Amino acid sequence: MTTKLGVIDWLLESEEPWTRYRTLIDIADRPDDDPEVIDARHEMLEHPAVLGLIRQSASWPAYPLKRHNDAAHPLYAISTLADFGLQREDLEIAEIAGLVMAHFDGDGFETLLWLPRFLTKQEDVEAWSWMLCDSPTLLHSLLAFGYGDEPSVRQAVTALAGRVADNGWRCGAAEGLPKFSGPGRKDDTCPIATIYSLKALSMVPELRDSTITASGIEAILSHWEHQQELKLRLFGIGTDFRKLKYPYVWYDILHVSDVISRFPAGRNDDRFAEMVSQIEVQADEDGRYTAGSMYRAWKGWSFAEKSVPSPFLTMLVKRIQARMASGTAGPMS
């Protein structure tokens, strides 16, 4: 049986440079100028799979977004590049960020959306707008790429923080979509909007230990605590929720745990420890993790392979454990 150290060695020997890079930075705590970090980063930037994500991202918006869990949309190519750790000086990231920042309404970064007539009060249309189940993902990506000093990005952070309620983030959208309220009761938290919002605000150091983010963390952990009787905005916590899945597109245990582990108020909560334990029991005898579900649009990536352990999925779990053990958030992406 492989020891914990053996798992880390396995990650560092992976053929996936994005896995090696994030393992070195987030788990081994290596500095940016470490030779192995430099080599892994250089190899990642030249890898055909990453170049493919860059091409897909550069097609933004490509087509109108109809479903917010459409894993094939460039929205999630962009967010995955951010998760991998690409920066504004890398390849076409500046161009991609420019395409995103070109559509900002003063509150949120917009996506080309397909809007049904019940929202427009007229006919079905394609229009630039935003909802809390897409705009925070773009904000997180811009922050991760290094655009935190841009006026529109700062303004978007302030607007997003200002939308928090006493139970996290509820369904919300641009002022031009007054009919949008999402499923469920108006005053219920929206679990996916809350997770997206927390992920974005985790990139703002002064907000990681604040009443703003604490409200969202409590909403998510309360949902876990009351999972047997509580379904929020059609989001339940059952078998599908517990399946390991990447990219971070929707509301599932790995996505939620990764986000909550970024915050002091989350890492030290017994309910969070219980959630993580439900991930840990899915390890194989060597301490490696395999996808329990996958997005077909990502077929070919190890994290979308349900028959063999995935280095990247394993790294994500080990990073959550490392954050819990150290008591710090570590580098953010």
CA nearest to 192, candidates 64, 67, 68? 68
For residue range 157-200, what is the model confidence (pLDDT) as tens digits?
Answer: 999 999 999 999 999 999 888 667 666 677 889 999 999 999 99
State the Cα–Cα distance between residues 320 and 277, nearest whole angstrom. Answer: 11
Domain count, the chain: 1
DSSP secondary structure code for residue 248 in this structure: S
Tokens 């929720």 belong to: 241
Closest CA to 268 of 311, 324, 223: 324
Q: Say which residues have a Cβ less than 8 Å from residue 279's Cβ, sequence separation at least 6.
A: 244, 253, 254, 257, 289, 317, 320
pLDDT at 183: 66
pLDDT score at 332: 59
Q: Is residue 262 within 8 Å of 210, Cβ to Cβ?
A: no
For the chain, percent helix, then strand, then coil, each to nearest 5? 50, 5, 45
pLDDT in tens, 45-74: 999 999 999 999 999 999 999 999 999 999
287 located within any domain: yes
Which long-range contacts (C-beta less than 8 Å, at least 24 apart) are formed by 15-19?
Answer: 15/311, 16/302, 16/311, 16/312, 17/41, 17/43, 17/44, 17/47, 17/50, 18/44, 18/47, 18/50, 18/84, 18/85, 18/312, 19/311, 19/312, 19/315
The rounded radius of gyration (Å) of the Cα atoms in the chain is 19
Kindly report, residue by residue over 5-24, the tens digit of the pLDDT.
Answer: 599 999 999 999 999 999 99
Question: Residue with structure tokens 């053996």?
Answer: 6
Q: CA 80 to CA 245: how far, in whole Å?
A: 13
pLDDT of amino acid 2: 45
Is 331 a member of any domain?
no
Tell if the pTM clears 0.85, that is, is over it.
yes
Has residue 176 been placed in a domain?
yes
Q: Report if residue 48 sits inside a domain.
A: yes
Q: What does the pLDDT read at residue 3? A: 44
271-294 residue pLDDT tens: 999 999 999 999 999 999 999 999
Q: How far apart are CA 274 and CA 325, in angstroms?
A: 15
Residue 80 lies in a domain: yes
Residue 296 has pLDDT above 90, yes or no: yes
Q: What is the mean pLDDT of residues 79-100?
A: 97
Residue 332 lies in a domain: no
Which DSSP helix (H) or strand (E) runs through 128?
strand 125-129
| Enclosing domain of residue 43 | 4-326
Cis peptide before 151 (omega within 30 of 0): no
Q: What is the pLDDT of residue 124?
A: 82
Q: Using one digit for the tens of pLDDT, what is the confidence trace for 230-241?
A: 777 678 899 999
CA 113 to chain centre: 20
* CATH number of the domain that residue 253 is part of: 1.50.10
Looking at every residue in the chain, the average pLDDT score rounds to: 93
